Structure 1
Amino acid sequence: MTGRTIRVSDVLGPVTALGPGRRLGVWVQGCPLACPGCMSRHTWDPRGGREVEVERLAEAWRRALADGYDGLTVSGGEPLEQPAALADLLAAADRERRAAGRTDADLLVYTGREDDEIAGSPRARAALDLADAVITGRYRAGEPTRLVWRGSANQRLVPRTPLGRLRYEPHLRREADRPELQVRVTDTEVRVIGVPRPGELGSLERELASRGVTFRENTWRP
């Protein structure tokens, strides 16, 4: 390892709404794409979040594997804004799963970059070299979808390895039959994890308000 750091917004587990099974979620910080309607505006500012050593994330992944987690999901923010750090993170994750005898644990990356943008960028291709599957494409609020783990109909789920094909090909056209969101409530904040359908965040706000929980600010409105 090179001692590289990666700027992240959050690290949470278990995550069950961004890929199959129980997963460690890493949200990188910084996104220039600024898709209208994005629920994670707090991850846009490249100066936000915090710098974390890739090795620290590898340690978290090692513990997750020992706890029986099924995979790692890297989202954001835009992971390909930090391609070298992303490559290091996936290399560390691959090293840890091999050392633990957990080569069944997959690595999934979300990116707003389109397939042709990735194909035309050697740095992006290298960064994603060890990803078992990638979800690609800008979020388009006007193109809703019920396809699992995708926010809009243009986004593509692309298996890239034998493990990725085994784990993700059954879900390429699978539609969710119910909302697939995780909600975590603390004394100071409500965290929503997953890919909401149109109107779900507003419904959540109204439901929480009926229980006396109101927001001073949220991450899905300017």
Structure 2
Amino acid sequence: MNLPLDLSRVHFPVTTLGPGRRLGIWFQGCSIRCPGCISADTWGSGRHRTTVGQLLDKVQPWLAEADGITVSGGEPFDQPEALLELLEAFRQRSGIDILVYSGYPREQLAETLGRADGLIDALISDPFDRQQPQSMALRGSDNQRLNLLTDLGRERFADFERPLRPDDHALDLMVDDDGSVWMAGIPARDDLLRLRDLLRNDGHSLQISADTASRSASGNLPE
């Protein structure tokens, strides 16, 4: 359990990225960097260096309360060995479902998914495309696919192969020790830009991932 892991953040409970109260884990670092990504703050590496074992120790108290686990990023499959070790440990410790988000097409993940057989119940695959509509549950753009990989995945996630409903328009708020506020979920297109402008007009200071992406395009985001 000493494999290094570049971690963005962990939160419990997350209620907007799958059914029930979920343990949310965000990997840090992404080589795909989809234009318009709402999580551009997770692109660069080096936010929080840890190990799989340390992460497991941190989240162990939440596992008994969680209904499922959602792994996102960043790009989890950019750290395949750490991802596999983490998923295997979760399988050994709990019978709850595991959802993983990836910006890679499923076909490109064939080798790693073969090694992860039975470890991932549902996979949201394919890159975010801001030119595509956003009308399907759990997805930022309609080209992304919900892949149900196990019987548990089909039981837990079959209901999400559907258009968005009004109750899908929700976000979880997370507050870090330094006072930073994070949102978990999939906002409607440009919602965070509108929120940023609204708060700034009221005299508040707010930075969103779109600002981070702009700095990255200018070469100012750490790699």
With structure 2 as the length reference, what TM-score do the two structures score?
0.86
Aligned match for 1:220, one of 188, 193, 210: 210
Aligned to 2:23: 24
C-alpha contact 2:11 2:174 (8 A) present in aligned 1: no
Deviates more, 1:80-89 or 1:171-180: 171-180
2:58 alignment partner AA: A
Q: CA-to-partner distance for each residue in 1:129-161, whole Å, 9 max, x for gaps?
A: 501110001000111313221100000111111
Aligned to 1:55: 53
Question: Is 2:99 the partner of 1:148?
Answer: no
Cα separation, 2, equivalents of 1:174 and 1:61? 32
Structure 2, unmatched stretches of 5+, are: 215-223
List aligned pairs for 1:1-150, cutoff 5 A.
2-46=1-45, 48-66=46-64, 68-97=65-94, 103=95, 105-119=96-110, 122-127=111-116, 129-150=118-139
Percent of residue pairs identical: 38
C-alpha contact 2:134 2:189 (8 A) present in aligned 1: no
Once the two structures are TM-superposed, the CA of residue 60 in structure 1 deviates from its matched residue by 3.5
2:27 alignment partner AA: V
Q: CA-to-partner distance for each residue in 1:20-68, whole Å, 9 max, x for gaps?
A: 111111111111111000111121112x2122221222233431122x2
Cα separation, 2, equivalents of 1:29 and 1:124? 20
Aligned to 2:182: 191
Cα separation, 1, equivalents of 2:117 and 2:174? 30
Once the two structures are TM-superposed, the CA of residue 127 in structure 1 deviates from its matched residue by 4.2
Deviates more, 1:149-158 or 1:52-61: 52-61
2:22 alignment partner AA: R
Aligned match for 1:200, one of 191, 198, 202: 191
Once the two structures are TM-superposed, the CA of residue 124 in structure 1 deviates from its matched residue by 4.6
Cα separation, 1, equivalents of 2:194 and 2:117? 36
SS across alignment from 2:107:
helix
Cα separation, 2, equivalents of 1:193 and 1:170? 20
Cα separation, 1, equivalents of 2:28 and 2:187? 20
Residue correspondences, number: 210
Cα separation, 2, equivalents of 1:90 and 1:73? 11
Q: CA-to-partner distance for each residue in 1:49-90, whole Å, 9 max, x for gaps?
A: 122221222233431122x21111110011111111100000
C-alpha contact 1:24 1:73 (8 A) present in aligned 2: yes
Cα separation, 2, equivalents of 1:10 and 1:107? 17
1:146 alignment partner AA: S
Aligned to 2:152: 163
In structure 2, do the counterparts of structure 1 residues 134 and 128 end up closer, same or farther at CA, with 3 Å as the change threshold? farther
In structure 2, do the counterparts of structure 1 residues 128 and 144 end up closer, same or farther at CA, with 3 Å as the change threshold? farther
C-alpha contact 1:17 1:195 (8 A) present in aligned 2: yes
C-alpha contact 1:87 1:129 (8 A) present in aligned 2: no
SS across alignment from 1:135:
strand
Structure 1, unmatched stretches of 5+, are: 98-102
With structure 1 as the length reference, what TM-score do the two structures score?
0.86
Q: CA RMSD in A?
A: 1.9
SS across alignment from 2:7:
strand
Q: CA-to-partner distance for each residue in 1:88-115, whole Å, 9 max, x for gaps?
A: 0000111110xxxxx2x11110000002
SS across alignment from 1:220:
helix
